[in-house]
Chains A and B, each alone.
Chain A
């Protein structure tokens, strides 16, 4: 019997497979396809202090082995989340993390403080890396001082697990990771989407209403893997890897690069059962390689 459990700071996950924010709704959307409780954790839709309508349609463009999105953090706002959605999902027997975003440090702090009061939410993922909003989001995650400032401020009010979701749209992601580690982050998750763009050659117009958007899917995997490896070598806190993971083998590669757990994002759109297949695939891999625990994979890349 192989042991699939991993530890992310104070969080004990039954397996290393989580879902990425913005790709899995609030979990409910996938109930017809999988047992949500079988997951290591879920990170629910990006939540802000006030409700947001997001960007105009079109918000999505398919690309080679990937997609661009420019949703722009459409969400019901933290109060509505607490009143109507939280009561519906709090029974899940998996870790539910809330992805938190904001336009100002104060908004991040106020939202995090409200979520701190929810017993069934053991952690938040602080989104300082959304490329699709005019203010806030990625602006906080692309400079070290602002990433540190928002992390420190939230750390003061948020007492549970604080995960920082990092932007790949930076010169040196390891520096930002070290910065937020010093400011009190319990873990870092990466990568958020890469800033990209699509033009329709026939109409000569941008495909997205916002012109630019965030690239995700299989196409980004090699970049994500490299960044996870760089960050894992730079910080002592756990790293949660994501970016184009579509198979168990992909997930294992991220763990070998140093990730303690992984998040599955865009692949959920292509196969709503992919998370369970990845969990099963990791288990088979461990059995095949006669390994007792998935933890042995973490940072296990062989270089000699």
Chain B
């Protein structure tokens, strides 16, 4: 079941120049159960040039407090409006949308996030931990200043970092990190979200090492509910909507 609800902004915490965590309080209606990897279509009001809703991953959920967190990177007019939402303002969301990450058949998992792609991995990590699986995170960014929410990830499990300029962690891309350079990986499942080139390399890596790799695509969307057919990804069964058949796909299902 999908819902359209109004939320109240109760937290707007700027992490870096570009990243903000919005904390949204549910209204009269209780939060439905959400799966890690699912997303919300967030309405943008008052941004000339930003006409459509913005699909954003569910970053974290607190059912006790009835709150959802969104990690938002300011990349354009729409996200700029969202990052400037004042406490007490109203945010309308259509949610929870799409298919999330599957639970693993192994306890050895690696969660790999690139840039804003780290967003869904916190909720995923929390879900895994609740199910007795300790998540390990590998987070890659361009520079140390773009590393966000490391404290929240660290509470759930080990956090490894790469930066392209070497300002934190291992210098290079996520695949340059020692955890991915061993003869035999010490994990069986890769969960990833981030830039497509990164996810394609991880998918290939998973194939070479006979691992399962679940990728979350960030295709541009209009409706978010499978009506417009704009956000398609080529799969073994032809073009499929990222918004309803994804955004999480098994990498082997995609025509990569």
- Chain A contacts to B: CB under 8 angstroms: 22-25, 29-30, 32-33, 45, 53-54, 57-67, 69, 71, 74, 217-218, 266, 268-273
Are A58's CB and B4's CB within 8 A? no
What 7 pairs between A and B have smallest CB-CB spacing?
A60-B230, A25-B227, A32-B2, A269-B223, A29-B227, A269-B222, A59-B230
> Which one of B42-50, B80-88, B138-146 is at the interface?
B42-50
B3 at the interface (CB under 8 A from A): yes
Q: Give the B interface residue count (CB, 8 A).
A: 30
Are B51's CB and A65's CB within 8 A? yes
Instruction: Report the minimum CB–CB distance from A265 to chain B (whole Å).
Output: 10
B230 — which chain A residues lie within 8 A by C-beta? Answer: 59-60, 69, 71
A269 — which chain B residues lie within 8 A by C-beta? Answer: 52-53, 222-224, 227-228
**Per-position binary interface string of chain B over residues 124-152, scored 1 when its CB falls under 8 Å from any chain A CB and 0 otherwise:** 00000000000000000000000000000
- Chain B contacts to A: CB under 8 angstroms: 1-4, 43, 48-53, 94, 219-234, 238-239
With A and B bound together, what is the CA distance between A49 and B219 in angstroms?
29
Are B4's CB and A63's CB within 8 A? no
Say whether, besides A272-B4, A273-B4, A69 and B51 are in contact (CB < 8 Å). Answer: no
B227 — which chain A residues lie within 8 A by C-beta? Answer: 23-25, 29-30, 268-269
Are A62's CB and B232's CB within 8 A? no
A30 — which chain B residues lie within 8 A by C-beta? Answer: 225, 227
Are B228's CB and A69's CB within 8 A? yes
Name the CB-closest residue of A to B222. Answer: A269
Are B50's CB and A62's CB within 8 A? yes
Are A270's CB and B43's CB within 8 A? yes
Given A54-B229, A63-B51, 4 other A-B residues pairs in contact with their CB atoms under 8 A = A22-B229, A59-B232, A62-B220, A270-B51
Are B49's CB and A32's CB within 8 A? no
Are B3's CB and A71's CB within 8 A? no
B232 — which chain A residues lie within 8 A by C-beta? Answer: 54, 57, 59, 74
Instruction: Report the minimum CB–CB distance from A282 to chain B (whole Å).
Output: 21
Query: Most chain-A Cβ atoms within 10 A of its Cβ — which of B2, B49, B50, B222?
Result: B222
Say whether, besides A23-B228, A59-B230, A62-B52, A32 and B223 are in contact (CB < 8 Å). Answer: no
